[in-house]
């Protein structure tokens, strides 16, 4: 394969492994229910020894797996103090400057997007520069919300540099097509669809989208996403793995901001310059997600 990025570890894998671990957890240990009461009171360490004896603990991929097994699955409370440390620490989510060096106040002239990641209130408030927006909803799964998208989603086409502007004509053609209802009309066929098949359409030295997203079969098509036809684009990602009805929609007609295609085109992964080959399920990203799920509490 010509493009070294094609050799990327496939994104689906860690989740499949975790899914397997969860399945194993619920299927084994016949005496599980009988012991539920006892377990409620048992210490974490005692539970852990029990699970090791039962062969229910599988550490598959280093740090992320340990965090998943020993912290997330046990629902250990994540403190804001830990989150605050992450925001102030370089390389906390993969190589790069600490988040607060660039996002340290609500003043957009000294902090990008007027985003203050140095306080709990600032994190809960989100970006204050127009268009102002919250980055997550406390208590909800944050996977598809702004903060976690910025930590996990690589900008497309894969390898696109941080400094490519997202308001040039080809970008706007895609955004405006979604905003106008994502119709399968002559304008789409002659102006929008060809962009996905064209090299350098969204930045210098970038491959065509369809080089990596060309059918519903993975491999070779990443996320079983087919960007070669209208039907493929509207069907979305992972339609074989999840089933046609549960495929991840990547176009929400009328709403570019909610559409995966636009998000992946326009949003840079943080910290800026991080390589797409860096682990998207970084242990600290999993912990940050868990803090949000637990309600993003400030103590
Ligand atoms: C070197 C400076 C820099 C660092 C370090 C940095 N960012 Fe950013 N961040 C930016 C810039 C510039 C933008 C606006 C451009 C863009 O949207 O990509 C941005 C945008 C964002 C946004 C989007 C906000 C919105 O309203 O759309 C989020 C969320 C974000 N950063 C989170 C983080 C997190 C979390 C970290 C730490 C892992 C981080 N950033 C580290 C410069 C930085
Ligand atoms: C060199 C290969 C490559 C190219 C070129 C590429 N992608 Fe991707 N794409 C990937 C990989 C790998 C992922 C998995 C997620 C990640 O790395 O963020 C992905 C994920 C996606 C997703 C998320 C699917 C989901 O499950 O929600 C969308 C949407 C997407 N790409 C759109 C595009 C668009 C639009 C283009 C062209 C502008 C493009 N891709 C070009 C490799 C590529």
Tens of pLDDT along 259-293? 999 999 999 999 999 999 999 999 999 999 999 99
Of the ligands numbered here, which is closest to the C-alpha atom of 220?
A: 2
Pocket of ligand 1 contains residue 133 by CB under 6 Å = yes
| Ligand 1 closest atom vs CA 133 | 26
Q: What is the pLDDT of residues 107-152, one digit of tens each?
A: 999 999 999 999 999 999 999 999 999 999 999 999 999 999 999 9
Please give the C-alpha separations between residue 223 and each of 8, 72, 173, 211, 285, in angstroms, as whole numbers.
13, 25, 24, 13, 21
| Ligand 1 closest atom vs CA 129 | 26
Q: What are phi and psi of 226, to 5 degrees?
A: -110, 105
Q: Is the pLDDT of residue 22 over 80?
A: no
Pocket of ligand 1 contains residue 270 by CB under 6 Å = yes
Please give the C-alpha separations between residue 214 and each of 112, 126, 177, 217, 224, in angstroms, as whole numbers.
36, 36, 21, 8, 8
Pocket of ligand 1 contains residue 161 by CB under 6 Å = no
> How remote is the CA of residue 51 from the centroid of ligand 1, in Å?
40
Pocket of ligand 2 contains residue 21 by CB under 6 Å = no
Please give the C-alpha separations between residue 121 and each of 28, 104, 115, 209, 299, in angstroms, as whole numbers.
42, 12, 11, 39, 11
For the entire predicted model, the pTM comes to 0.88
Pocket of ligand 1 contains residue 149 by CB under 6 Å = no
């Amino acid at each position: 394969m010509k493009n070294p990025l094609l050799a990327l570890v496939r994104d689906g894998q860690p989740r499949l492994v975790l899914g397997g671990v969860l399945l194993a957890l619920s299927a084994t240990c016949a005496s599980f229910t009988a012991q539920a009461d006892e377990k409620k009171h048992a210490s974490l360490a005692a539970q852990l020894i029990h699970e090791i004896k039962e062969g229910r603990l599988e550490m598959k991929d280093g740090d992320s797996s340990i965090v998943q097994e020993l912290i997330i699955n046990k629902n250990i409370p994540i403190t804001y103090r830990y989150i605050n440390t992450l925001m102030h620490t370089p390389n906390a989510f993969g190589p790069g400057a600490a988040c607060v060096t660039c996002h340290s106040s609500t003043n957009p002239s000294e902090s990008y997007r007027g985003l203050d990641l140095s306080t709990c209130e600032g994190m809960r408030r989100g970006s204050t520069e127009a268009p102002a927006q919250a980055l997550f909803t406390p208590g909800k799964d944050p996977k598809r919300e702004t903060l976690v998208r910025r930590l996990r989603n690589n900008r497309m086409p894969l390898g696109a540099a941080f400094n490519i502007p997202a308001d040039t004509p080809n970008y706007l053609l895609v955004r405006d097509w979604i905003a106008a209802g994502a119709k399968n009309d002559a304008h789409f066929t002659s102006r929008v669809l060809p962009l996905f098949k064209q090299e350098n359409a969204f930045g210098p030295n970038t491959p065509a989208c369809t080089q990596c997203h060309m059918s519903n079969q993975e491999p070779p098509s990443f996320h079983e996403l087919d960007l070669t036809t209208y039907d493929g684009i509207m069907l979305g990602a992972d339609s074989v793995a999840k089933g046609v009805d549960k495929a991840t929609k990547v176009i929400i007609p009328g709403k570019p901001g909610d559409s995966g295609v636009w998000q992946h085109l326009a949003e840079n992964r943080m910290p800026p310059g991080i390589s797409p080959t860096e682990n998207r399920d970084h242990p600290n990203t999993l912990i940050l997600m868990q803090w949000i799920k637990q309600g993003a509490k400030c103590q």
